[in-house]
Amino acid sequence: MADLKALRILAAALLSSGALAVSCPSSAADSVEALKSRELDASYRPAAAAPAILDAGEVDTPEFQKTSLGPGLNIYFVSVFQGDAELIELPNGKNVLIDAGPAPAPDSQYKTPIVSSFLKKHGVTKIDHMVMTHPHADHYGGMQWIFENLQVDNFYDTRVDNSDAVVDNFVREAAKKEPGCVVHYPAEGDTLNWDPSVKIKVLNACPNRGRSADHKDKGAFLNNCSIILKISYQSSTALLMGDAQDEVEARLVASYGKGLKADVLKVGHHGSAYSSTEAFLKKVKPKKAYIEVGKYNDYGHPTQAALGRLEAIGAEIHRTDKEGTLTYVMKPTKEAPLGGIQKLTLGPIFSAN
């Protein structure tokens, strides 16, 4: 099996480098033309139609770009319909995938998750660090494909089980079977050593065993278990909220106060009304807010309530349903203060029970 996987990875690398035409060993649905039409289906933003959202901190992503956005730290907010996936290119050349969007619908003509198109297009054959913020299908659905087709070196997970789902268990089994992959269960307060020039602090996680049925609380328990990361590189900061809701936001405010301030906010829970509370946003004060959300979703995301609060704080709002995959670039500068965040109070922010 390992040999087969190595062949797949090699084929993907050749395909993305252009050395191999479109005769990918997997299905015809993976051909370049298919990926193109699929991304148009997914309201993926073709470069030619890119809206004028470029500024010093952001660059457009051309079609079929095969290389990094450049030195520094780059974040891609990947358009995966209704779900989350963020790819981070670290200054040391390693990469991070936070969530992987949904799996293809059973009746879909596509047999691979939408995130696979993005990863192939960017020539990604290996994930150094993959984070499953919490066990909901719009976050882990693409991970089975990733474990089957790419090399994953580190997997970051919570210990909470979604008792209404089974595929989360398959993903976790795949992580344990992945050759050379180390599984981590980060806790609030941990620092992740992904790159010596970047500070990555875990602000929320559920490292203790827990179990929840979504039908009882509309997913709130699992959402509130989301692994939340604050990433600081030189003078730039990003706060990635997973699907955390108001309860966690209130605890973050109490624990970190102004330390939550961040240039970039990956808005919690796709712009749900129960996230992005006023008190929380007043501490974060994001310059840019990124909402990963699908067109015509069944949840009413993003809600006018959350959008209104983000507007009121003065954040520039970007949405994957309107603009496709978005990028944020933290360029290296000469002065390099290592940012961070200090906790104001003791004790866990959120723990599973």
CA dihedral (344, 346, 350, 353) in degrees, to 10, reads -170
Query: Which part of the chain contacts Zn ion (CB under 5 A), choosing from 60-68, 117-125, 132-140, 310-318?
Result: 132-140
Contacts of 56 (CB under 8 A, 6+ apart): none
Q: Is 323 in the site for Zn ion (CB under 5 A)?
A: no
Q: Is 81 or 194 the residue whose CB approaches Zn ion more closely? A: 81
Query: Which part of the chain contacts Zn ion (CB under 5 A), choosing from 138-146, 210-218, 272-280, 281-289?
Result: 138-146
Q: Tell me the residue length of the chain.
A: 353
Question: Which of 48, 72, 46, 44 lies closest to 58, judged by CA?
Answer: 72
Q: Is 321 in the site for Zn ion (CB under 5 A)?
A: no
Q: Is 99 in the site for Zn ion (CB under 5 A)?
A: no
Residue 89 and residue 195 in contact, taking contact as beta carbons nearer than 8 Å: no
**What is the SS3 assignment for 281-329?**
HHHHCCCEEEECCCCCCCCCCCCHHHHHHHHHCCCEEEEHHHHCCEEEE
Q: Is 30 in the site for Zn ion (CB under 5 A)?
A: no
Q: Is 243 in the site for Zn ion (CB under 5 A)?
A: yes
State the nearest-atom distance from the C-beta of 344 to Zn ion, in Å.
28
Residue 136 and residue 219 in contact, taking contact as beta carbons nearer than 8 Å: yes
Q: How many CB atoms lie within 10 A of CB 294?
A: 22
Query: Which part of the chain contacts Zn ion (CB under 5 A), choosing from 101-109, 177-185, 189-197, 238-246?
Result: 238-246
Query: Which part of the chain contacts Zn ion (CB under 5 A), choosing from 125-133, 146-154, 189-197, 242-250?
Result: 242-250
Q: Applying CB under 5 A, which of residues 30, 86, 138, 321 lies at the interface with Zn ion?
A: 138
Q: Is 243 or 249 the residue whose CB approaches Zn ion more closely? A: 243
Residue 226 and residue 138 in contact, taking contact as beta carbons nearer than 8 Å: no
Q: Is 29 or 291 the residue whose CB approaches Zn ion more closely? A: 291
Whole-angstrom distance, CA of residue 296 vs CA of residue 293: 9
Query: Which part of the chain contacts Zn ion (CB under 5 A), choosing from 7-15, 40-48, 131-139, 310-318?
Result: 131-139
State the nearest-atom distance from the C-beta of 3 to Zn ion, in Å.
36
Q: Is 88 or 244 the residue whose CB approaches Zn ion more closely? A: 244
Q: Which residues bind Zn ion (CB under 5 A)?
A: 138, 243
